[in-house]
Amino acid sequence: MKHELKGLSNPEKYHDPISIKNQDIGILKYMLSTMLLIRKTEQQLALERKSGIIGGPVHLGAGQEAIAVGISQNLKKTDRVFGAHRSHSHLLALNPDFYRLFAEVLGKETGFSKGMGGSMHLYDQANGFYGSVPIVAGTVSLAVGAAMAAKLQKTDDIGVAYIGDGAVEEGVVHESFNLAKIQKAPMLFIIENNLFASHMHISLRQPSDMISRFAIANDIPYKLVDGNDVVAVAKAAKELIDDIRAGKGSGLIELVTYRWYGHVDWRDDVDVGVDRSLDDIENWKARDPILRLSKSMIKAKMWTTEEEKNLNNKIDKEIQIAWEMAMNDPYPSPDATLKYVYS
C-alpha cells in the first residue's frame, strides 16, 4: 500500500497541543464542551451496553469527536446532513440532546426515532439531520439528491454526507462523486478516515491510504486534515463550505482519525486478531482531540484545570439525570408498530 497520508496516520505523531491563534474563545469553549459531552454520552452507552441494559449494538466513535464538532460549526439548521452506522457524534454536534439519544437506544417513544430505530437509525430533521442507516454508503446518494434539491429550491443550503474509509469501497459513492461534480451540486463529502472498516486495516483493503485520491479523480476540490485537531477541521471545512454555498459546486474533506473502541460496542477488538495493538490505541489516545484543545487553551490562559473539573462534573450529572429519565420513559404502544410503515 502507498502511504500517502504520511505522518497523519502515524500514531506517534501529532500529540502536541493545537494552534488556536486568533480563535474566538467562546467558540473554543463551545467546541471543547460539545466534544466532551459527546465523549461522555458514548462512554455511558458503552457502560450500559456492557451491562446488557441496552439491547442493540452501538457503534462508538470515541476519539473522533473533533470531526463532527468542527464541521458543524459551519452548518445551518436548514442544511441536509446524512450519516451511517457510527453517527452519534454527527447528530449530537447538531443537537446535543443526549437524553433523546439515550431514549432511542433504549427503544423509548421519546427517542429521536420514536424508539423504532435504535443507535443506527437516527433522525432529527428540525436540526438538519436527515438520517443515518446501517447500510454502509446507503445515504451518500441521498445526500447528493438533497443537495440538488437545495439548488433547485434556490437556497444556499448544502447536502452533507459522512463517509468512512470503508464506505468508499461501495460503487455508489463513486457515482455520487461524479454526479455531484457534473451537476455542480452544493455538496460536502466528509471522509472520516479512521484507517479501519470493521476489523480490517486499510492496508488490507486499498492500494493507498489516502481517500482524497477520489476527489482528484473527479476534479472535486479537497482538503486533507488532521481529524483530531478541531480548529483545523473547522477552518478547512469553512473554506470549502463558503465556496459550496457560493455556488462553486461540491467539495471533499478527508479527516484522518482513529476510534478508541473496537468496531462495535465497548470492546477494543485487540483480542480477536485485529491489526492493531494496545500500544497503537494508547498512542492514539495521546492524540485525543479533547486533551489537545484543552491543553492549548490552558497554555494560552483561556481555560483552567478548575474550570475543566467543573465542566466534567456538570456533564456527568446531566448525563446521569438524562439516563434515569430515559430509563423511566414509556415504550411505544404496540399499535404504533405499523403507524410509520409506508405501503
Catalog residues that contact ligand TPP under the rule CB under 6 A: 85-86, 134-136, 164-167, 194, 196-198
CB of residue 195 vs Mg ion: minimum separation in angstroms?
A: 7
Q: Which is nearer to ligand TPP, 120 or 240 (CB)?
A: 120
Reduce the DSSP state of residue 227 to 3 states and report it. coil
Stretch near Mg ion under the rule CB under 5 A, chosen from 74-82, 178-186, 187-195, 285-293: 187-195
How many angstroms separate the CA atoms of 82 and 308, rounded?
32
Stretch near Mg ion under the rule CB under 5 A, chosen from 69-77, 81-89, 138-146, 159-167: 159-167
How many angstroms separate the CA atoms of 220 and 214, rounded?
8
Scored b (16 or more CB within 10 A) or e, 29-40 reads: bebbbbbbbbbb
Residue at grid coordinates 443550503: 157
Residue with smallest beta-carbon separation from ligand TPP: 164
Q: Which is nearer to ligand TPP, 66 or 326 (CB)?
A: 66
Q: What are phi and psi of 270, to 5 degrees?
A: -65, -30
How many angstroms separate the CA atoms of 111 and 343, rounded?
24
Nearest Cα residue to 94 out of 62, 127, 64, 117: 127
Nearest Cα residue to 11 out of 297, 277, 253: 277
- The half-sphere exposure of 221 on its side-chain side, counting CA atoms within 13 A, is 17
The site partner of 292 among ligand TPP, Mg ion, none (C-beta below 5 to 8 Å per kind) is none
Q: Angle at the Cα of 157 (from 75 to 37), degrees rounded to 5?
A: 20
How many angstroms separate the CA atoms of 183 and 162, rounded?
20
How many angstroms separate the CA atoms of 79 and 190, rounded?
14
Q: Which is nearer to Mg ion, 143 or 231 (CB)?
A: 143
Of 81-140, which residues contact Mg ion (CB under 5 A)?
none
Reduce the DSSP state of residue 161 to 3 states and report it. strand
CB of residue 136 vs ligand TPP: minimum separation in angstroms?
A: 4
Of 33, 34, 119, 194, which one interacts with Mg ion (CB under 5 A)?
A: 194
CB of residue 137 vs Mg ion: minimum separation in angstroms?
A: 12
The number of residues that bind Mg ion (CB under 5 A) is 5
Stretch near Mg ion under the rule CB under 5 A, chosen from 12-20, 162-170, 180-188, 248-256: 162-170
Question: Per rule CB under 5 A, is residue 209 in the interface with Mg ion?
Answer: no
State the cell numbers at 272. Answer: 480477536
CB of residue 85 vs ligand TPP: minimum separation in angstroms?
A: 5
Q: Which is nearer to ligand TPP, 194 or 218 (CB)?
A: 194
The site partner of 87 among ligand TPP, Mg ion, none (C-beta below 5 to 8 Å per kind) is none
Q: Which is nearer to ligand TPP, 118 or 186 (CB)?
A: 118
Chain residues in the site for Mg ion (CB under 5 A): 164-166, 194, 196
